[in-house]
Amino acid sequence: MEVVNDNSCSWINDLNPRSNIQKISSDLDCEWLIIGAGYTGLSAARKLGQLYPNQKILLVDAQLAGEGASSRNSGYLVDTTLNDGFTSNKELENYKKKADIYKLGIEAIKRFIKEYQVDCDWNECGKYFASSKEEDKKILENFSDTLSKLGFEHNLLSNKDLKKRLGTNFYNIALYTKGGILLHPAKLVRAMIDTLPENVSLYENSSLLNWKKTNDTVICNFKNGSIKTKKIIFATNGFLKSLGIKSNYNFPITLTASMTRSLTDEEFESIGKPKEWGVLPIRPMGATIRMTKDKRILIRNTAEVHNPFNMSAKILKKRSELQKLGIKKRFPKLPEDIIQSTWSGIVSRTRNSSQIFEKISENIFVAGCYNGSGIGVGTLFGEQIALKASNENSKEIEIIESRDKPTWLPPQPFLNLGIYTKLVYERIKARSEI
C-alpha cells in the first residue's frame, strides 16, 4: 500500500516546495539503507554520513522526505509529559528515565540547530498542562510532587492567571513547566533534509513494498526497482507494523489537527494579545492547543484507529468541524471560519508508552515509536541507532537501553477492540476538554 497524504498541512505549506526529487527507478546496492526520512531516518543518515564519508548510504521515503508526522506535528519539544502521580519509587525511577531521554532529545536538537544555524522558530517558553475542570487539581498536585522530586521548575496557575497568559477564560487550572520548547516542525525537518551529507542519496515517493534477508544482505523491493544492502535501519515509525517490524509491540494511531489563519490585529487584541504559548491536555484525549508566534491557533483534538495510508477528504472535514468547536469553546469571540487547513498524521504507540530502539536481526536495526513525543527523541534515536548499527557505544545508548522495553500486544481482533474501547473511554472522560 502507498501512503496518500492530504496536502493541506499549514506547516508544510509555509515552506517553499522542494525540487529535484529523485525516485527509485532501477536496481541499486549500497552499504547502508535507511527506510523513512522523518526526524529519525534523517538523523540516522546524517550520523552515518559523518561516520562513513566513503560509503554509499541511501535514504528512502514513500512520500516527500519529512512530510509525514515530522512536518505534521504540533511542535512541542517536551522535557516532561504528564503523569498523574506515582505510588512507588520504582515508578518514579521509570519516569526519571523517560525524562532523561527527553533531555537528551532536546540536547540533540540544540546541537543540530547550533551546528547548522537552523531557524525553526525556536521558543523556550515552557508549556502548560491545563484543564477546565477544577477537580483535575488533584492530578496536577500529584504531578507537581513528581516534578519537585526530580527538580523540574514549575508552578500551578488558576483561571485568572491563565486568562491573562492564554487569552481564554476556558481553563480553570494548569501546571506550567518552565522547560519545553515550541518550534516550527516543518522548518526543523526541512533543515535536516537540506543539510544531509553529500554521501547520502535521498530517494522519495518510493514506497518499500517488501523486504527479505538472504545470508548477509537485505533485499528491498520497490515498484520500479530494488535495493540490495549490507545494513538497514527501519525508521518508518507509524508504518513499522505495516512492514512487519515489531508487529506485536506497536500500532499506528491517526491524529488530526487544524490551524487557523493569522488573527487580525483587532482579533488578537480582543483576546488580550497573549505571547506565544502551548497547552497540553490533562486528560489524554483532550485538545493540544497552541498560539503561534505569528498569531495562528493550532488545535489537535482527535486520536483514532484508522487506516494509516489514507484519510478521505470527507472524514478530514468532519475532524475539522470538531476542531472548529474546540476553538469556539476557548475563543467564542473569534469568527467561526478562521480554520485555514486540516491535516492528518500517523504516530506509533506501544502498550506501556516505551520506545523501540533495537537490533532485530544481524544487520537490521529499528528506531521509532515515540508515543506522540518524537521531535527530540526521534532525532536522538536516529543518531544513536546509527552508532549502535556501527557497533559503537555511547552514554546516550546506555541511557536509552536502561528504559523499560515495550510490552507485548494481544493479537487482532482483540488488539483493535482493546484500543478502540480505551480511546472511547478516554474520549468520554475528556468530553469537556475537546
Ligand X SMILES: Cc1cc2nc3c(=O)[nH]c(=O)nc-3n(C[C@H](O)[C@H](O)[C@H](O)COP(=O)(O)OP(=O)(O)OC[C@H]3O[C@@H](n4cnc5c(N)ncnc54)[C@H](O)[C@@H]3O)c2cc1C
From CA 64, how far away is CA 58, in angstroms rounded?
15
From CA 434, how far away is CA 426, in angstroms rounded?
11
Closest distance to ligand X from the beta carbon of 244 (Å): 11
Closest distance to ligand X from the beta carbon of 347 (Å): 5
Closest distance to ligand X from the beta carbon of 66 (Å): 7
Closest distance to ligand X from the beta carbon of 217 (Å): 18
Closest distance to ligand X from the beta carbon of 325 (Å): 17
Q: Are strands 277-281 and 127-131 parallel, antiparallel or unpaired?
A: parallel
Q: What is the 3-state secondary structure (H, E, C) of 170-230?
A: CCCEEEEECCCEECCHHHHHHHHHHCCCCCEEEECCCCCCEEEEECCEEEEEECCEEEEEE
Q: What is the full DSSP assignment across 23-34?
A: ---SEEEEEEEE
What's the first-to-final CA gap in the chain, in angstroms?
32
Using the minimum distance from each CB to ligand X, give the nearer residue, 109 or 271.
109
Q: What is the full DSSP assignment across 76-116?
A: EE-S-------SSHHHHHHHHHHHHHHHHHHHHHHHHHHHT
Mapped onto helix, strand or coil, the DSSP state of residue 352 is: coil
Closest distance to ligand X from the beta carbon of 270 (Å): 27
C-beta nearest to ligand X: residue: 374
Contacts to ligand X by CB under 6 A: 3, 35-41, 60-63, 68-70, 72-76, 207-208, 235-239, 243, 255, 257, 300, 345, 347, 368, 370, 372-375, 378
Using the minimum distance from each CB to ligand X, give the nearer residue, 137 or 286.
286
Closest distance to ligand X from the beta carbon of 12 (Å): 12
Using the minimum distance from each CB to ligand X, give the nearer residue, 172 or 182.
182
Closest CA to 377 of 134, 169, 76, 82: 76
Closest distance to ligand X from the beta carbon of 267 (Å): 24
| Cβ neighbours of 269 (radius 10 Å) | 11
Using the minimum distance from each CB to ligand X, give the nearer residue, 172 or 373.
373
Using the minimum distance from each CB to ligand X, give the nearer residue, 290 or 295.
290
Using the minimum distance from each CB to ligand X, give the nearer residue, 30 or 172.
30
Closest distance to ligand X from the beta carbon of 247 (Å): 14
Q: Match 562513513 to its residue by C-alpha cell.
A: 52
* Long-range pairs for 394-402: beta carbons < 8 A, 24 or more residues apart: 396/104, 399/97, 399/100, 399/101, 399/104, 400/101, 400/104, 400/355, 400/357, 401/357, 402/97
User: Which three cell numbers, joined as nine digits, stand for 431?
Assistant: 468530553
Using the minimum distance from each CB to ligand X, give the nearer residue, 130 or 255.
255
Distances (CA, A) of 4 to 7, 67, 79, 309, 315: 9, 11, 32, 6, 14
Using the minimum distance from each CB to ligand X, give the nearer residue, 139 or 192.
192
Mapped onto helix, strand or coil, the DSSP state of residue 382 is: helix
Using the minimum distance from each CB to ligand X, give the nearer residue, 171 or 370.
370
